[in-house]
Chain A
């Protein structure tokens, strides 16, 4: 009896404490308000774009579209998906991203894993070779001339290979590998496992978080990148989606000037451009929130020096 009375009393005190902690004061409402402002600032541009892509051309030209579509219709999306070039670019970039991510992850792992072994002779040489590239870059033109010389211009490879390994990402992975207990690796070595086996059966299964993070970084990098294609690729069929978009949009910006001077009103194309941009953003918007826990870890690990 008495013990249960004490526990209810304790419970009551704890609840009181929790209630006090959870009570919202004026300052909390200010913070919530600021949080709402941040949310608004971040999503308003996208909402505006979405509304424009779903509106009728007339409403757009009349300048009536803010956050809610006016004269709701899907014609822009129909036009966009009827455009074989755009659809091709979308699929092509998806494949490119997949291939690039796999290649990059493989390279990053192959570089990071051997470097965690203290016993590896000559490790300092490899470390120096890698570190120098972080500080000093040959520059745009030397890189370009190298691509010319390797006959990589206007091929798919130039979009996959030259930037496939990021030293920054390699350091993130290496730090993660360092965090895996050495005893696991040593007992596997005692059992006679080869290093390939240790990597495949011990390290990789334990490294899912960092692999997910780096996959996201590499995939986003490839999906969003356009400068390599701008410099190295002239064939339109090899353009990744962002370069394709850039060409469409910078076309629009010259029309903008035209509207200002009052000679043309590209209404439908306005909604179409909104639709095109909207659609190439959606894949990333769908993926990144699910990986949030992982990439936060990744960023933090990369920032903390071992």
Chain B
């Protein structure tokens, strides 16, 4: 009896046995997860190995780790640090020389276009959601919503083609309308405004088209937030004699404030990020000075001109800054008392 007591009783789980029982049941979940995990490892983690290319000399048909190390050469070249002549010129002159590089131009354009998107584009979906919320005719409201979501489903190639139809100098919709008006009233011939080839006007078109594409879609989230506001608040305000504008300002807007803050912080976190499809589709040769952003810079330099190392370095720079901004904005939003995004 006593000897038996020191052993574990028959059937009672030992550690290994427990694991077996667990696995005999849960292996299916691991089997399911295995496929996406292999996907992540191959397509998201394996390429990270190639980041070392930023410090190497790319040689065709050589194993990555056998390529020659070259230090920070590619970063120095990308950041145009050699352009400065620190000993001869003043600091400001040197910095100016450095910032004249293509890369810094791309950085400037990326930030400029993103900031403009933020300042001009960010409030539009909020205003649109407020307007929709005030529409009493349900059918009509639904039609407006459906139509406003439409541009989100168009590809940037198609949007580019539409913007050509609308803004083109000779046969664009707007220039035709203006030309028609000018001819009617003054009898002069109208040359057309160069919306797409004048850099400043192109930036305006780029921002407007971006707003056009996304305002409806982005309003969804605000509409959902508005739906979550308790109707009792509105009723109480009505009893107190508040009119619609007052209700909008004092109930609806504060009600969606958390949503606004989260989305604003998210947008700020993405300020150095740049999609590829929109700037690449919208750009043309006349406006490269303002249209070339980091993503298109990496594509042209890296894939078209095969400067793999330099483009990898630039891509890495963007990724790292992007992560810092994202984590920073998330930290900030938690600090502000709103929930973090992640």
| Interface flag for A6 (CB, 8 Å) | no
When chains A and B are docked, how far (Å) is the Cα of A11 from the Cα of B160?
56
B274: min CB distance to chain A, Å = 11
B150 within 8 A of partner (CB): yes
Chain B minimum-CB-distance residue to A298: B220
User: Which residues of B sit under 8 angstroms from A230, Cβ to Cβ?
Assistant: 280, 299
Interface centre among A142, A150, A226, A249 (most CB of B within 10 A): A142
Instruction: Name which residue of chain A comes closest to B154, CB basis.
Output: A281
Q: Is the CB of A28 within 8 A of B173?
A: no
Question: When the two chains form the complex, which single residue of A48, A61, A114, A126 contacts B165, counting CB atoms closer than 8 Å?
Answer: A48
The contact size tier of chain A is 35 or more
Judging by beta carbons under 8 Å apart, are B40 and A129 in contact? yes
In the bound assembly, the distance between CA atoms of A52 and B166 in angstroms comes to 11
Query: Which of A34, A44, A110, A140 interacts with B35 by CB under 8 Å?
Result: A110
Q: B157-170 vs A: 1/0 string, CB under 8 Å?
A: 11011111110111
A140 adjacent to B295 (CB under 8 Å): yes
Task: Quote the shortest CB–CB distance from A129 to chain B (angstroms).
Answer: 6
> Distance in Å from the Cβ of A280 to the closest Cβ of chain B?
7
For residue A207, give the distance in angstroms from its CB to the closest CB of chain B. Answer: 15
Whether A28 lies near B37 (C-beta < 8 A) is: no
User: Chain B: interface residue count, which band?
Assistant: 35 or more
C-alpha gap A113/B140 in the complex (Å): 39
Return the CB mask of B174-205 against A: 1 if under 8 Å, else 0: 00110100000000000000001100000000
Contact in complex: B48, A305 (CB < 8 Å): no
Are B166 and A48 neighbours in the complex by a CB distance under 8 Å? yes
Contact between B153 and A288 (Cβ–Cβ < 8 Å)?
yes
Contact of B135 with A35 in the complex, beta carbons under 8 Å: yes
The stretch of B86-94, B102-110, B113-121, B311-319 that contacts the partner chain? B311-319
Q: In the complex where A48-B173, A138-B51 touch, is A144 in contact with B303 (Cβ < 8 A)? A: yes
Our pick among B29, B42, B131 for the contact of A117 (Cβ within 8 Å) is B29
Residues in A with CB closer than 8 Å to B158 are 224, 242, 245, 277, 280-281
> Which stretch, B4-12, B77-85, B141-149, B229-237, touches the partner chain A?
B141-149
Residue of A63, A140, A259, A305 touching B179 (CB-CB under 8 A): A63
Q: How far is the CA of A143 from the CA of B50 in the complex (A)?
A: 8
What are the residues of chain A within 8 A of B244 when measuring CB–CB?
27
Are B43 and A161 closer than 8 Å at their CB atoms?
A: yes
Interface flag for A46 (CB, 8 Å) = yes
Centre residue among A31, A38, A46, A299 by max chain B CB count within 10 A? A31
Residue of B with least CB distance to A194: B28
Residue among B30, B50, B223 making CB contact with A141, cutoff 8 Å: B50
Q: Are A136 and B28 in contact (CB under 8 A)?
A: no
B33 — which chain A residues lie within 8 A by C-beta? 110-111, 114-115, 126
| Least CB separation from A226: chain B residue | B157
Q: Is B137's CB under 8 angstroms from A139's CB?
A: no
Tell me if B339 counts as interface (CB < 8 A to partner A): yes
- Report B285 CB to chain A, min CB distance, Å: 8
Q: Are B339 and A138 neighbours in the complex by a CB distance under 8 Å? A: no
Name the contact of B161 in the complex, choosing from A31, A224, A249, A296 (C-beta under 8 A): A249
Q: Which residues of B contact A220 (CB under 8 A)?
A: 153
Task: Contact check, A22 vs B136: say whether CB atoms are below 8 A apart.
Answer: yes
Q: Say whether A142 contacts B155, CB under 8 Å.
A: no
Q: Name the 10 nearest CB pairs between A and B, nearest first.
A: A139-B315, A224-B155, A142-B50, A111-B36, A138-B47, A114-B29, A142-B47, A195-B28, A300-B224, A146-B47
Q: Which residues of B contact A (CB under 8 A)?
A: 22, 26, 28-30, 32-33, 35-37, 39-51, 53, 128, 131-132, 134-137, 140-141, 143-151, 153-158, 160-166, 168-171, 173, 176-177, 179, 196-197, 212, 216-217, 220-221, 223-224, 244-245, 259, 276-277, 280-281, 284, 286, 295, 298-299, 302-303, 308, 311-312, 315-316, 318-319, 323, 326-327, 339-342
Query: Given A110-B32, A145-B47, 17 more contacts at CB 8 Å?
Result: A31-B131, A31-B134, A31-B136, A38-B148, A39-B143, A48-B162, A110-B36, A111-B33, A114-B30, A126-B37, A138-B47, A139-B47, A139-B318, A143-B47, A161-B39, A227-B276, A296-B220
What are 20 pairs between A and B in contact, CB < 8 Å? A38-B131, A43-B150, A44-B173, A63-B171, A117-B29, A120-B29, A129-B41, A139-B51, A139-B312, A140-B298, A140-B299, A141-B311, A142-B48, A163-B43, A225-B155, A226-B155, A226-B277, A245-B161, A256-B196, A303-B224
